[in-house]
Chain A
Amino acid sequence: MIQYIIKRFFMMVLTVLLIATLTFFLMHAIPGSPFDDDRTSNPTIQENLEKYYKLDQPLPVQYANYLKAIVTFDFGPSIKKPNDSVNSLLARGFPISFELGIITILVAVLSGVTLGTLAALRHNGIIDYLAMTFAVIGISIPNFILATLLIQIFAGELKWLPAATWQSPLHMILPTLALATGPMAIIARLTRSSMLEVLTQDYIKMARAKGLKPSRIIIRHALRNAMMPVVTIMGTMLAGILTGTFVIERIFAIPGMGKYFVESINNRDYPVIMGSTVFYSAFLVFMLFLVDIVYGILDPRIKLHKKEGESS
């Protein structure tokens, strides 16, 4: 077990390093520079700026500096926000994205699993049809449309809730709804189909035959086994939602870190591109690792040390 974790950790570091290297070279392959501004194009000023950010050095030197930055996790100052270091941007944005993400995940998982279980128990009944219609709608409406719609209705027309910004619990309701609906629908569908499969298993019949309480059968025996596919998608879902989503954060003016992914690339803000990519990939890889461990807890048949060969 410990050996597995160590090996896995080594693989994780390698993965992040690979992603980081790819990002570095892709980033420098696209044309444009952080100082390309329509208004300011005085060549000497540009040179001063490049010197200041060490962008005048040859690429291998920059790459070496960059590797050093990853190891020490210090990416230096942002180019477009000269008052801030990349670290301080991430330190400021991540907790907010994380907060929104956790609330979203809780809402999505709780309501998704409940909805899916109810639908499976009332298979082909009215609840099933309603829940699945709701799920299909939830999956098909992109969250930015939902977000705009929610703002228009609850802030613009009804004036019940504030339209945007991140200040009080009241401000959190609309973005959570907009962000949670999609994942909730996916989880509901997954739960339903795997529940249906589990409910036909022999051990469920056995449990029923033993005369166990239905609630105990469902929660302890059925749901636990039905959770496997949900856990599988949770890894990527968690990493994606917890590190912030560009569109939702932009629409609701939430000061999370989602915007850095997109804005930094548009601005060619190299240190921020590197910082956010490394951070995100490290986080994602760590989440996948957690998911693997949770597998073991949920299903004793999965022995972690047997998976060594196939782990990535």
Chain B
Amino acid sequence: MKKWLTVLFVAVFAIVLSACTANKDAGKEPSSTDGGGDAKEKVLYLNNGSEPTSFDPSVGFNAVSWNALNNLMEGLVRFNDKDQPVEATAEKYTVSDDGLTYTFTIRDGAKWSNGDAVTAGDFVFGWLHMLDPETASPAAFLAYPIDGAEAYNTGEGKAEEVAIKAIDDKTFEVKLNAPTDAFLSIITNPSFFPVNEKVATENPKWFAEADSFVGNGPFNLSEWEHDVKFVFKKNDQYWDKDIVKLDKVDWAMVNDTNTEYQMYKSDELDVSSVPAELAEQLKNDKELHVEDQAGIYFYRFNVEKKPFTNKKIRQAFAKAVDQENIVQYVTKNGEKAAHGFVTYGFKGPDGKEFRESVGDLVSLDKEEAKKLLKEGMKEEGWSKLPKVTLTYSTSPEHQNIAVALQSQFKEALGVDAKLQNVEASVFLAEQKELKHQTSRSSFLYDYADPINALESFITGSPMNRTAWSNKKFDSLIKSAKQETDAAKRWETLQDAERVLIDEAPIVPLYFYNQVSLEKSNISGIVRHPVGYTELKWADKN
């Protein structure tokens, strides 16, 4: 009996060992291909953080998917290095006088990586795939300005009723339900990329592996070892291939910023993010690049929970916040303090920055804050202020900011606020159910237009999450959406922002930025305030 057991045990052990050695061989492969590559080729080493959610343009609605996908495929228009949407797969476009009909002509040289020509039908196919309720694309709402799109996506309409049409192989026409100034910038988004109809019909999972992936962008997906890395090769079929300088891009998937930084230091990566603990130490580093990002960190006040039911008390808390102090001593990452809701980087028809023409709408004013608090309490007949709790999702960064706010409220208003942290998913669920009194929030733009951010606060918007409802604000947003005169529209949006900050269902803290370390021999990587990394112009010497 004992012998029998020994045999069994040895057998198990042998299997274990053989499995082990088999894997070791598998692990060696990528390193050997690496070794041959660095002769004269220009290989850029980047880190994607983690496995992309999906390279299906309609599905991977996040930076880990779209920073890469943005370089594998191309829509009708693409942002240039000045963040303006310019012709890409489309050679030219025309807009009707009422601003409702866009007609795109696809350029002759536009080809898929397998040699097929990119047709207008591929765009129709890709866009309908995004709007198909079965796809359940999280990005589908971006297409709602298109006539019939929302109805189809929500299951009320039919695909044939969506107003997109391939007039012929090279002509693509879109009809909108309202003039949408930002439409061109919206369709730079990867969810509006074409999909090769022939390939996708044959293999609906064409995007899942490197072998079957067919793109039309500056690079090709040549290798994809899931959860380990993926490799881009220059796409010879790309219409603008003479501009592309890199031969290869090697994307690692390292999730830990400290490890990423060490790999950068030991030359395993060309670009790295900055670990929070090192932000201050690296502040003046020559290899540090700081760029704007269209996004804002702010706090929401729930107008249904006391004491924030009172406008003056909300204003008092808003004026007790010292934004400069937070960016200087707490976040320490070179962010810009936010005194309004719309970020920097949006130029109006007058050529002026939205942010600068509106100016600072809220900033620290302790005296005024104290006065407003007193008045507000008098209006409500409170002798003592109801308890205030700041809620944030668990993370050291959010905690530091909450602690800073706590002490600022204490200093300016003499209010002892309580802090509460909640696990991230629970936090979001609770915030949507309006369970918090005042809570940490952020907004990242989906497309480059102030209305994207401001629209969040119309009555009943799922992004509102404050229970705040204001007729004047709602009507300003509505008329901005209908307005065909660009200058007027811009003014309407500015008025809307003034109403929002004055009513104070939110208090802005700071605008996001993108901070990265880049080796000095790297150039031309473009990071837009809204949008995804562009490697088309990148070079390595």
The chain A residues found within 8 Å of chain B, CB to CB, are: 1, 30-33, 35-45, 48-49, 51-52, 80-84, 92-93, 95-96, 98-99, 102-103, 148, 151-152, 155-156, 159, 162-169, 171, 250-253, 255, 259, 266-268, 290, 293-294, 296-297, 300
Q: Is the CB of B425 within 8 A of A31?
A: yes
Does chain A have a CB within 8 A of B16? yes
9 inter-chain pairs at a CB distance below 8 angstroms, sorted by A residue, are A30-B426, A31-B425, A32-B425, A37-B61, A45-B153, A163-B266, A165-B229, A251-B256, A266-B424
Q: Is the CB of A165 within 8 A of B134?
A: no
Contacts of B155 in A (CB 8 A): 44, 48
| A48-B136, A52-B136, A293-B5 known; A36-B259 Cβ under 8 A | no
Q: Is the CB of A268 within 8 A of B425?
A: yes
Q: Is the CB of A255 within 8 A of B253?
A: yes
Q: Which residue of A lies closest to B141 (CB)?
A: A42
Does chain A have a CB within 8 A of B20? yes
Query: Distance (Å) between the CB of B11 and the closest chain A CB?
Result: 12
Query: Distance (Å) between the CB of A82 and the closest chain B CB?
Result: 5
Q: Which residue of A lies closest to B209 (CB)?
A: A83
Contacts of A162 in B (CB 8 A): 263, 266, 268
Does chain A have a CB within 8 A of B154? yes
| A36-B428, A156-B262, A168-B27 known; A45-B54 Cβ under 8 A | no
Q: Which one of A39, A41, A156, A252 lies within 8 Å of B265 (CB-CB)?
A: A156
Q: Is the CB of B27 within 8 A of A81?
A: no
Q: Which of B462-481 contact A (CB under 8 A)?
A: 462-463
Q: Is the CB of A250 within 8 A of B256?
A: yes
Q: Is the CB of B425 within 8 A of A155?
A: no
Contacts of B23 in A (CB 8 A): 95-96, 98-99
Q: Is the CB of B252 within 8 A of A253?
A: yes
Q: Is the CB of B140 within 8 A of A45?
A: yes
- Complex CA gap A39/B423 in Å reads 17
Q: Which one of A33, A84, A93, A103 lies within 8 Å of B20 (CB-CB)?
A: A103
| A167-B30, A169-B24, A250-B255 known; A1-B1 Cβ under 8 A | yes
- Complex CA gap A47/B229 in Å reads 33
Contacts of A35 in B (CB 8 A): 138
Query: Distance (Å) between the CB of A27 and the closest chain B CB?
Result: 12
The chain B residues found within 8 Å of chain A, CB to CB, are: 1-2, 5-6, 8-9, 12, 16-17, 19-20, 23-24, 27-28, 30-31, 34, 51, 53-54, 56, 59, 61, 133-134, 136-141, 153-155, 205, 207-208, 226-229, 252-256, 258-259, 262-263, 265-268, 423-426, 428-430, 432, 442, 444, 446, 462-463
- Complex CA gap A280/B236 in Å reads 46
Q: Is the CB of B54 within 8 A of A267?
A: no
Q: Is the CB of A39 within 8 A of B259?
A: no
- Complex CA gap A45/B132 in Å reads 10
User: Which 4 A/B pairs are nearest by Cβ-Cβ distance?
Assistant: A32-B425, A255-B227, A41-B462, A253-B254
Known: A49-B138, A151-B262, A152-B262. 7 other contacts (CB 8 A): A42-B140, A98-B20, A156-B265, A165-B228, A171-B27, A252-B259, A255-B253
Q: Is the CB of B28 within 8 A of A43?
A: no
Query: Distance (Å) between the CB of A280 and the closest chain B CB?
Result: 18
Q: Is the CB of B259 within 8 A of A251?
A: yes
Q: Is the CB of A98 within 8 A of B19?
A: yes
Query: Distance (Å) between the CB of B460 and the closest chain A CB?
Result: 10
Query: Distance (Å) between the CB of A234 and the closest chain B CB?
Result: 13
> Which of A103, A169, A255 is packed against the most chain B CB atoms within 10 Å?
A255
> Which of A1, A41, A51 is packed against the most chain B CB atoms within 10 Å?
A41
Contacts of A98 in B (CB 8 A): 19-20, 23
> Which of A51, A52, A99, A294 is packed against the most chain B CB atoms within 10 Å?
A99
Q: Is the CB of B1 within 8 A of A155?
A: no
Q: Is the CB of A92 within 8 A of B136?
A: no
Q: Is the CB of A167 within 8 A of B207?
A: no
Q: Is the CB of A253 within 8 A of B255?
A: yes
| A81-B53, A82-B53, A296-B2 known; A168-B28 Cβ under 8 A | yes
Contacts of B444 in A (CB 8 A): 38-39
Q: Is the CB of B9 within 8 A of A40?
A: no
Q: Is the CB of A166 within 8 A of B228?
A: yes
Q: Is the CB of B268 within 8 A of A255?
A: no
Q: Is the CB of A52 within 8 A of B134?
A: yes
| A84-B226, A164-B259 known; A40-B61 Cβ under 8 A | yes
